[in-house]
Amino acid sequence: MNQDATLLAETPALELSGVHKSYGSFQAVHPLELSVPRGSTYALLGPNGAGKTTTIRMALRILDPDGGAIRILGRPLSQEGLDRVGYLPEERGLYKRMKVKTFLLFMAELKGIPRREAAERIMAWLERLELADRANGKVQELSKGMQQKLQFISTIIHEPDVVVLDEPFSGLDPINQQVLRDIIVELKAAGRTILFSTHIIEHAERICDHVCILARGRKVADGTMAEVKQTHGTEFVALRFVDGASHAARLRQLPFVASVREHGVEAEVALADGADPQALLEHLVSSGVQVRRFEVTEPSLEQVFIERVGAVEADAESQEVVHV
Amino acid sequence: MSKALVVVKREFTEFVGKRTFLVATVLGPLLMIGFFAVQFFFMSQGGGGHHTLVVLDATGRGIGAQVVAAVSAEQPAAGPRRAAEYEASVQDVEEVRAGAARADLRARVAADSLDGYLYLPAGLIDGGAAIYEGKNATNSSVTSQLRAATQQAVQGSRLADAGIDPARLGAALAPVRLSTSRIDERGEQGSAEGALIMGMLMGFAIYLMVLLYGAAIMNGVVEEKRDRIVELVMSSVRAKDLMLGKVVGIGGAGLLQMTIWVTVAALVVINGPTLAGLFGASDEMVQELAANPILPTLPFSAVLVFLTFFAGGFFLYATVYSILGAIATTAQEAQQLVFPAVVPLILGFFMMFTALENPDSTIAVVGGLIPFTSPLVMPVRVAMTGVPPLELALAIGLLFGTAYAMIWVGGKIYRIGMFATGKRASFRDVVRWIRTA
């Protein structure tokens, strides 16, 4: 490998700098910096309307940004770069009247894969996802679940270096959710970069090692999963009492407790800034409450999400009120 | 392989692979031969019939007898029509008694013992009108035969009165035949008839192609948007290439079908006389057809120009259809936009007729350059007059250049229009899309 190639291999798989987009007077994406490291599984997390899909579409040249620069695999956005990307759009689409195999051949050829090589890969995938007997049937004759599988295959048939999945789990039945999860794990193991957009926090947390949280077209958190969680200064304690009661009212009165979330038999206590979890334990022991579980936990992504996104939303709403 | 080529291949094979394509390709020529057969069948069923009539002659010059002799003689077949048979008799009458005689004949017609009667008044030779009354008075083949027979007899009498021999007059008045052909700088020949037929063919061929395959292109674009496939495809191929692939792919399939049809049509025309005989045309008709071929011969250069402008014209209008598909959100909506899109084609037709009258008129020259009308006008001009090569090259350049520019514009509209589902874009929206995309 020559030096230039080595250098390229170390550059981010996808890099956005100062990329922004507005539709009329609505700013969908404010100038955005995003760097997706090679081999990472990167979540683009945010509520609906946060600008996730617009960002992805700009990165894939489906939309033109109003400004900013986009680089894929170390080079400015180009057809060659895009040929190394696999895309599963949120709005799934297939040529309904084509034959299954012909459709996949078309998608592979569009990405520059020679016909014979594509044909072999297609049969392997169809067999793996139990669609081999439908290879010469029409797409529209497949069940919805089968069409979803077909869509997965079309996304990765050219063995892309970067896979972009926009809300991939929406509308999938549990079986296909598992199929997709297996594919993601496999891609990850093979060193592919995955950009995964979702509004479901649990998906991001379970699948991804990096996360960027978007709200109202702005980035509110970005980094590895651990980094993002650490930026949340608060410490949490998960509690369960022997008597099964939550004791929430009592806990809330303590000076070093910021808030308490009740989950039925368990409670989750957020400590005030700088408070020591030990103080809580001492208080509980001294007040004679029998504790079954006491665990200092790292903040969940959900907590970070609610705090960060909530702040932006509240800010936006207050501005809207001012406008009125 | 270039991306556009991959799209071309897909569009072409999908279109040709459809059952409707196969059916239309086979049925088209069958229909064509069928029309040919039906036309002759119907024509051969016209005419004929048996007519009983009386010629009431008050001229006193024997006109009635001549008319009866003319219609009673065996009628020559007019085309594939069967000849009518007449059973006619003369009844001479004095002018003053004519009223009573006509009343009598009318009663016989009413009683069905007679089909009709022809009254020749005394003043007929000096310009009076003959009168035919009968049940078959609306049968044009009967009345035209009676008129012809009467006219011939009356004219004969008039010439005799003037002392002129009808046969010598006929010889003197024999029509002069004028055969027109053009000789230009290169000494090639073309005829106005050839140009007219070529121009008409061109107009209808482009119109038919656009109607048949333009709609397929338009629906393909609308479907891609509706089925949400376009976003997926556009992450792999530029909108312009997608449009180009669609127009060339479906257009190519259309050209293939058209070629098959034209080949069959040419075979039908070349073997027309034989076929006409098979479908019951008379021998004279067959010989006449063989002597006057329907298609005039054209110089090779004119055929080349014809084909070039045909392809250019078709692709230009096909791109217009693809743009309509990109603007519309449903197939029905797109259909409503079609008529305005083919208006320039109709304008081209009008310009073509102007060019036929005077191929060097300003309208013909300008119409031969404007891309939307040049496919109709320019080939006619080339066939009729010497068009400077530079002008011809300019027209071809403008035609294909515009077609390509339309694909480029269409791509831009497609790219933005694909997310604007729900409401149809206004003209202003579209202009904004083109500017901002």
The string of pLDDT tens digits covering residues B130-166 is 988 888 777 777 888 888 889 888 888 888 888 888 7
Question: Where does the pLDDT of residue B344 fall: very low under 50, low under 70, confident under 90, or very high at 90 and above?
Answer: confident
Choose among B120, B96, B91, B123: nearest CA to B108: B91
Higher-pLDDT residue of A256, B417: A256
CA distance B58 to B95: 5
Kindly state the average pLDDT of the residues B178-204: 61
User: Does the interface predicted TM-score (ipTM) exceed 0.85?
Assistant: no
Q: What pLDDT does B6 receive?
A: 92
- A60 neighbourhood in chain B, CB within 8 Å: 235
B426–chain A nearest CA distance, Å = 16
Cβ contact, residue pair B229, A94, below 8 Å = yes
Q: Where are the alpha helices (DSSP H) in A224-300?
A: 225-230, 248-252, 277-286
3-class secondary-structure state, position B381: helix
Are the beta carbons of B242 and B233 closer than 8 angstroms? yes
Q: Which residues of chain A make contact with B6, given a CB cutoff of 8 A?
A: 106, 109-110
What confidence score (pLDDT) does residue B183 get? 57
Residues of B with CB under 8 A from a CB of A: 1, 3, 6-7, 9-10, 13-14, 227-238, 415, 437
**The two three-digit tokens of residue B169, written as one number:** 């007059």
On whether any CB of chain B is under 8 Å from the CB of A156, the answer is no
DSSP three-state, residue B358: coil
Assign B408 to helix, strand or coil: helix
Rounded Cα distance between B130 and B92, Å, is 14
* Residues in chain B closer than 8 A to A142 (CB atoms): none
pLDDT of amino acid B186 = 46
Measured between CB atoms, which of B6, B13, B228 is closest to A110? Answer: B6
Residue A91 with chain B: CB contacts under 8 Å:
228, 231
Residue in chain A nearest B14 by alpha carbon: A98
Quick one: tokens of B92?
């001479």
- pTM over 0.80? The answer is no
* DSSP per position, B30-52: HHHHHHHHHHHHHHHHSB--EEE
Cβ–Cβ below 8 Å for B232 and A60: no
Higher pLDDT, B184 or A283: A283
Instruction: Tell me the mean pLDDT in the region B267-294.
Output: 65
Could you say which of B6, B238, B415 has the minimum Cβ distance to residue A106? B6
- The Cβ of residue A269 has, within 10 Å, a number of other Cβ atoms equal to 24
A60 to chain B, any CB pair closer than 8 A? The answer is: yes
Which tokens go with A40?
Answer: 């990472």
Answer positive or negative: Cα dihedral of B187, B192, B197, B200. positive
Nearest to B227 among A87, A93, A109 (CB): A93
CB–CB contacts below 8 A, A to B = 56
B27-82 pLDDT per residue, tens: 877 887 787 778 777 766 666 678 888 898 888 888 888 888 888 876 655 555 56
Verify whether the Cβ–Cβ distance B234 to A110 is below 8 Å: no
Q: Could you tell me the mean pLDDT of each successive run of 10 residues in chain A, 324 residues long?
A: 58 93 87 94 91 93 90 91 92 89 94 92 93 92 91 93 92 90 93 93 89 91 86 78 79 84 82 82 86 83 83 74 48
Confidence of residue B25 (pLDDT cuts 50, 70, 90): confident
Name the range with the highest mean pLDDT among A83-97, A292-306, B251-265, B285-299.
A83-97
Confidence of residue B359 (pLDDT cuts 50, 70, 90): confident
In this complex, do B236 and A97 lie within 8 Å of one another by their Cβ atoms? no
* Chain B nearest CA to A100, separation (Å): 13
Residue B97, class by beta-carbon neighbours within 10 Å (0-12 exposed, 13-18 middle, 19+ buried)?
Answer: exposed
A207 vs B429, which has greater pLDDT?
Answer: A207
Instruction: Read off the pLDDT band of B5 (50, 70, 90).
Output: very high
Rounded mean pLDDT of B230-243? 88
Which residue matches tokens 């049925």?
A: B27
| The pLDDT of residue B229 is above 50 | yes
